[in-house]
Amino acid sequence: MASANKDIVPVKESGPFTSHCVHLEAGPSQFTVRALKMQGSTMLFVNPKESEVLEELAVAMPPRNPTSTEPLSSTILGGHGQTDSSVLAAKLSKRYRRQFYVSLNLKLDRLVGPLFEKSLVTYMHDHLEHFA
């Protein structure tokens, strides 16, 4: 079962920016999620709890054309083509209708990946003021 730890860092507000950090669990794995909410966009850094790195970075934004439902996404740093970061950025952009920068620095397999995504989405839904 996915859950959030009690290791929640209070929101820091500085003008139009807010930051938030939380440790999430997905099965046996623990993750650190750092969020920087800006006006019109959100930046997420997701790492294993024990180490923080920046291996890839992607961006996704909702389409300007109202008839299109698919967000536009691109990898800025790291892998080529469709990376884990760009896939997550596109999903979040579509769900929350805002621009997302995502640095997903995890090695997710078929079992832990869905647990992680459910844990993240549930936490974001319950604490939306930190993300959108």
Number of domains into which the chain is organized: 1
pLDDT of residue 128: 94
Structural domain span for residue 83: 3-130
- Cα–Cα distances in angstroms (integers) from residue 42 to residues 5, 38, 79, 97, 105, in the given order: 22, 6, 21, 11, 17
Give me the CATH number covering residue 109.
Answer: 3.30.230.90
Band (6; pLDDT cuts 50, 70, 90)? very low
Q: Is 59 exposed, middle or buried (0-12, 13-18, 19+ CB in 10 A)?
A: buried
pTM of the predicted model as reported, rounded to 2 decimal places: 0.83
Residue 29 binned pLDDT confidence (cut-offs 50, 70, 90): confident
